[in-house]
Chains A and B, each alone.
Chain A
Amino acid sequence: MKKLILLGALCTPALALDIPITAEVSGSCVIAVETNGIYGQPNAYTLSTTPADGGRLAISRVDVTLANAYKVEFDAPDSFSSSPTLNDVVTFTSDTEVSAVSDATNMADYETDKTESGNKDTYELTASGSTWFKHSSTAVNGGSRAFASGNYQAVVTATCIAL
């Protein structure tokens, strides 16, 4: 009997089958740029995105499909990402504010509840939906010296962080 069992074990081929388990995770926090900002120049040594100064605010939109699952951080610029050679220190003043929401009841306090740390503004996204943010930036050249002619560019970095 022992021999038969051994023989059977030798004759039966080993069967194996892979059972897949898949999942597709789509981003449920999406950041989109709705409007690029433009610096205006109210005077020779100041660049400003304020509309009154001839500039245009940058607008971004953050869409989340899950409430209380994400927070979004905005790092305001403290230097130009590209510019002509500058010999003076440039002082940056930047800010991010909620400009519009899609849910009055649950998003209306986003702005009052935001946390600011240096150039970084953080918003807890406690409701699902869309939130629009406006970003302002002002750069003043040191010593009130005129900015050199050329192209200037600064960047606001937005990051969606899962809680």
Chain B
Amino acid sequence: MQDVLPNYNGLTVNGIYYQYTPIKEREDAFKVTVQNQNVDGADIFKQTDDWTGKSGGIQLRRVIGFEYIPREVWGLGSMSTEGDGTIEDANLVYTYRYVDKCATPLDNPTCDGYADAVLELLPEQTVIEVYDVLKDENIKDEEADVEYEEEKDQKDDKKEEERLERALAIDEGNLDIGEAIAQAQMLKFLNDAMNMQTYYDKRIYGGVYPDANVLVDKKLPDNKSSARWGLISDLRHNELINIQYQRRIE
């Protein structure tokens, strides 16, 4: 019987449906017994149909219900005859319910794989990528091309300070280096002052510079050609002015 029912945990049989057709003569004694035992050999059910004195050829269909008997309880089942006659079209169907308490591991903490199933349900640590404009390669490229003067000065000062700090902070033995640098700075200032002083010390010597060319007074005649051209230009100007007035009057 254990080979007939599916091997699932939690399977329980709640009914049996069977049918057969007795083949017999009416006067013949004939019995048909359908039964099923449990694993200990006791009958779970036993149904005997006495066809003695009954007509054969009529199919019997019967349904027997149970209150969900577990699969493990069921033992041998049989359909047997007694007397003169046979059965045809015999068929027996078990109806069962399958309730696997561990069909999914999450059904019960005692089921195998429960912990793994719970872990799978937990949300994964999702990493939200925040756009950092300062890390954008395109922005970096653009930024590298632009260098503001103020920033440049600050960078230079900072570099100089860092350079001095590094030079001074290495150890006491490097103090001479710092002094040398200080002296170099001092010399640079002195040199700059001396260089500037040369401009201050320049002298432009003064004196009287007499005119080299002297124009002697003389009567200058009018340029007639120029007067003529000037008069012509005036006439032409007046003519143009008058033309404008005439257009407005029209």
Contacts and interface: CB of A to CB of B under 8 A. Distances in A.
Interface of A: 98-105, 107-112, 130, 132
21 contacts: A99-B58, A100-B58, A100-B61, A101-B61, A102-B62, A102-B63, A103-B62, A104-B49, A104-B50, A104-B51, A104-B60, A105-B49, A105-B54, A107-B58, A108-B51, A108-B54, A108-B58, A110-B58, A111-B55, A111-B58, A132-B59
A114 to B, nearest CB: 11
Contacts of B54: 104-105, 108-109
A16 B22 CA distance: 65
Interface in B38-55: 49-51, 54-55
B81 interface: no
A61 B58 CA distance: 14
A58 B63 CA distance: 23
A101 B58 contact: yes
A132 B58 CA distance: 10
Contacts of B62: 102-103
B32 interface: yes
A100 B60 contact: yes
Task: Classify the interface of chain B: helix, strand, loop or mixed.
Answer: strand
A72 B239 CA distance: 137
B55 A101 contact: no
Contacts of B19: 100
Contact of A105 (B26, B50, B55, B59): B50
Interface in B52-89: 54-55, 58-63
Contacts of B61: 100-102, 130, 132
A103 B59 CA distance: 10
Q: Is the interface of A mostly helix, strand, loop or mixed?
A: mixed
A84 to B, nearest CB: 37
Say which size band chain B's interface belongs to: 10 to 19
Interface of B: 19, 22, 26, 32, 49-51, 54-55, 58-63
Contacts of A105: 49-50, 54
Given A102-B60, A132-B61, A112 B55 contact: yes
A104 B22 CA distance: 10
Contacts of B50: 104-105
A102 B50 CA distance: 13
Contacts of A107: 58
Contacts of A99: 58-59
Contacts of A102: 60-63
A155 B50 CA distance: 36
A130 B19 CA distance: 13
Given A104-B32, A110-B58, 20 more contacts: A98-B58, A99-B58, A99-B59, A100-B19, A100-B58, A100-B61, A101-B58, A101-B60, A102-B60, A102-B62, A103-B62, A104-B50, A104-B51, A105-B49, A105-B50, A105-B54, A107-B58, A108-B54, A111-B55, A130-B61
Contacts of B22: 104
Given A100-B61, A101-B60, A104-B32, A109 B55 contact: yes
